[in-house]
Structure 1
Amino acid sequence: MRVLLVGINYAPDLIGVAKYNSELCESLVTEGHEVRVITAPPYYPAWKIPHRFSSSYFRTRHIDGVRVTRTPIYVPEHPSGAKRLIHHASFALSSAVPALANALSWRPDVMIAVAPSLMSAAFVSFVARRVGAKSWLHIQDFEVDAAFDLGLLRNGSLRKWMLRTEAAILKSFDHVSTISQPMMDRLILKGVDFDKAVEVRNWIDTRAICPASRMTKYREQLKLGETDIVALYSGTMSRKQGLEFVIEAAIGLEQSHPHIRFILAGDGPDKTRLEQLAAGHSNIHFFGLQPKESFNELLATADFHLIPQKAEAADLVLPSKLGAIFASARPVIAMAEEGTGLAAEVIGAGLVTPPGDSSALQAAICQLSEASALREHYGEEGRKRALDRWDRQTIVRRWSEVMADERKSTGAMGIGPTSANDNIGLPVEDAVRLP
């Protein structure tokens, strides 16, 4: 098939949505499809375009078999709610011309839009109908809900208008997919038909991310030994993660548990503030984004991983780092409300504490730091789940098959099991379970 993807994030950005857009397209090429991408220059999570990409607009390059065209975009240095709206609007406008040109000249079989950014998605479904292509919207997070629930935007009238616009966009696509069962439930509540909804998990390459020795170059760099316990956060550093609770827990344990060290690896608009909060505390260490070839070693450094999350972000997104943590055979402590998608994924492979409660997080950290057998048990269970539910090759191949089947049938199928006992490819009526 010919597949045209329009998405704001793509390689060489290393984390977040860019990683999955890139790996999806590369895997589709491996499956024998022709793939083109309309995207922006890399800018995330530092919110800064590298100098070498500042003059690459509307130029086309081939990356691992994928034809990639980059368009101009406004990137705010300090991304407030209003500036984010302008940011996404700039991509919607600049991507429209190359998206239309490719659709008319190349005639794709499937046009995929990835949210974020939802603003550019409306034009994708419009063009797909005009050229006879199937349209597919893939939602990595519910950006409208997140913007208001996290306080980035506050105007009630604007929220109502944006939700109406979102509903119209969702209904305009032949299929709408998202990355977890609770997010599937939210799609249905937003009015997406059962036969249009598809679950597509954020996968992990379980061959590249695998169990390894905890005595890594990162421990050597920090002069940490066998008896030191490492609690690791790796990923984007922004407001919705609630990383200040990790800092609070670390400060609270500094005197009583000096052998527990905290590593925060990554980048993002909140990193400077977090470094200021942690200043003067010797048990908290920061690393920048690590190269892809070192990622497995970074994950292996941890005795357990931390996934903080604010209560307002529950079920708006499933943290993509979870699959990698499981694949590395390390346990996890997640801050999540009981009954949320994140809590359901973690129970049995780690501990769950209430969001926003740094005291509960401290207690969970102490519990795991003192129980090596429990850490090993949770790690083994996580690895098992990664192989069963998050394997990249299996999930992407099913996505490819569903897109091919879509040319012959209007039926939709789930991609990626919703529980340990589910099978790949359940009809969505079986996969979606409303409360």
Structure 2
Amino acid sequence: MLSWEYPPLLIGGLGRHVHALATTLAAAGHEVTVVTRHTPGALLEEYTEGVRVIRAPDDPPAFETSGGNLLGWAMAFNHTLTRAALTAARTGRYDVVHAHDWLVAHAAVTLQSHLDVPLVATIHATESGRHQGWLPAAHNRTIDDIERWLATGAARTIVCSAYMKREVGRLFGVPAGRTDVVFNGVDTLRWRSRPRAVAAARARYAGDGPLVSYAGRLVYEKGVQHLLAAVPILRERHPDLRVVIAGDGPYREELEAVATPGVTFAGFLGGHELTALMGASDCYVVPSIYEPFGMVALEAAAAGTPVAVADTGGLAEIVEHGVTGVKFLPGDPATLAAATGEVLADREYARALALRALDRVRQDFSWPAIAAQTVAVYERARACDARRVSREAESLLVHVPATRTALL
């Protein structure tokens, strides 16, 4: 399994997804190796939670990543990732290579070819989707091409929602029959914070009024700017409202510049700090313009918090309005304020939403079920690969007289 992030290095939801999938597969008896980036203080190789983790250190040359252009860095990273993975392969036998997103594409294709095993690719998001269909610069168009190459070259392509299945079909031409929808999972126990920690987070952030929170990368497509625009509307009815923005990213400075009173930028929160914030919140808001799945909405639900989400992408599939949460129009601060205000105004309604959402998370998004579905995809990939090998063998057969055949 190849991923550009893995604990203790976490940038967004992808690292948490890969970690949960890998450890759940290992707990089910599968041998799993994760090859990922190294981070200071972590071991280069270790067995942890049943998973063999290989962390590839950066090569000495430094690559500038300003302006969102990660291509130079990504190419260098794929070289060190490939070397680390090939070294790991000397001491193990692998049945499938599983690549997570374009940042590991070159290493994944090299491994697939070298090991002669099927490649499975999970497309967590697309460059086109992140930019609302606009690919403004050469590096954006190159990333789009790499995503297409990875998705079309894989034996099976995994996506996290029906929305994403349509997207990779439309953008990349991946046949629907070769694309598998496997939802992201949530460990409900991991997101339940202790009452004392919740009380401390509430005392720190909420004051005397209701508390609304958001956590994630601070980038344009996450829509935090629309949450900030809704704050003055919400404060007309709830003057003591507090809003906490947890996370970091290239858009932070611009967001801080337009924030109004009552808004706190908490920076990146990890572990118990984030679960405590979620548990302390009266409503958790996901204002994304583009969201292939929306795992953070399920994490908030697992924390026992009612959610308000933009009615877009995968969020539209996992949240039922008025049943497991409330929805609003993406990019519309007025409907965001109205939906969030409904939750804040009626505590019994909010509690009912939270309880039903938690029940659905437990039923439909448990990691053992998600891991089992992923194994089924691996088996389909191996079956596809076996048919490929058979066709290649047949193409080498030539008929000779007396019904004899020779394999050339």
Q: TM-score range by the shorter chain?
A: 0.7 to 0.9
Supply the distance in 2 between the matched residues of 1:285 and 1:165 (Cα, whole angstroms): 38
Contact 2:213 2:284 in 1 (8 A): yes
Q: Counterpart amino acid of 2:352?
A: H
Measure how far apart 1:232 and its partner are: 1.2
Measure how far apart 1:161 and its partner are: 6.2
Q: Counterpart amino acid of 1:194?
A: A
- Bigger radius of gyration, 1 or 2? 2
1:309-366 C-alpha deviation (Å, 9 max, x unpaired): 12xx2x5x222202112222322212235xx432232233222222222122222222
Structure 1 residue aligned with 2:93: 107
Q: Counterpart amino acid of 1:87?
A: W
Supply the distance in 1 between the matched residues of 2:267 and 2:139 (Cα, whole angstroms): 36
- In the TM superposition, what are the counterparts of 1:226-265 in structure 2 within 5 Å? 228-265=209-246
Identity %: 20
Contact 2:119 2:381 in 1 (8 A): no
How big is the alpha-carbon RMSD for the aligned residues of Structure 1 and Structure 2? 3.0
Of 327, 331, 335, 2:310 maps to 335
Structure 2 residue aligned with 1:381: 356
Of 369, 373, 379, 1:394 maps to 369
Q: Secondary structure at the match of 2:239?
A: coil
Measure how far apart 1:76 and its partner are: 7.2
Seen in structure 2, the aligned counterparts of structure 1 residues 76 and 362 have a Cα distance that, compared at 3 Å, is farther
Matched, 1:346 2:319: yes
Seen in structure 2, the aligned counterparts of structure 1 residues 307 and 292 have a Cα distance that, compared at 3 Å, is same
Measure how far apart 1:401 and its partner are: 4.9
Supply the distance in 2 between the matched residues of 1:275 and 1:398 (Cα, whole angstroms): 42
- TM normalised by structure 2 equals 0.82
In structure 2, stretches of 5+ residues that fail to align are 387-408
Matched, 1:297 2:276: yes
Structure 1 residue aligned with 2:58: 72
Structure 1 residue aligned with 2:394: none
Matched, 1:87 2:100: no
Matched, 1:7 2:3: yes
Measure how far apart 1:272 and its partner are: 3.4
Seen in structure 2, the aligned counterparts of structure 1 residues 221 and 158 have a Cα distance that, compared at 3 Å, is closer
Of 235, 241, 259, 1:278 maps to 259
Q: Secondary structure at the match of 2:47?
A: strand
Between stretches 402-411 and 163-172, larger displacement belongs to 402-411
In structure 1, stretches of 5+ residues that fail to align are 43-49, 412-435
Q: Counterpart amino acid of 1:60?
A: E
Structure 1 residue aligned with 2:391: none
Supply the distance in 2 between the matched residues of 1:162 and 1:13 (Cα, whole angstroms): 23
Seen in structure 2, the aligned counterparts of structure 1 residues 41 and 268 have a Cα distance that, compared at 3 Å, is farther
- TM normalised by structure 1 equals 0.77
1:168-211 C-alpha deviation (Å, 9 max, x unpaired): 33222111101111101223333223342112222110223349
1:91-125 C-alpha deviation (Å, 9 max, x unpaired): 223222223333455331111111042xx324423
Structure 2 residue aligned with 1:420: none
How many residue pairs get matched?
379
Name the structure where helix makes up a greater proportion of residues: 2
Q: Secondary structure at the match of 1:106?
A: coil
Contact 1:212 1:328 in 2 (8 A): no
Structure 1 residue aligned with 2:120: 136
Structure 1 residue aligned with 2:149: 168
Structure 2 residue aligned with 1:21: 18
Structure 1 residue aligned with 2:84: 98
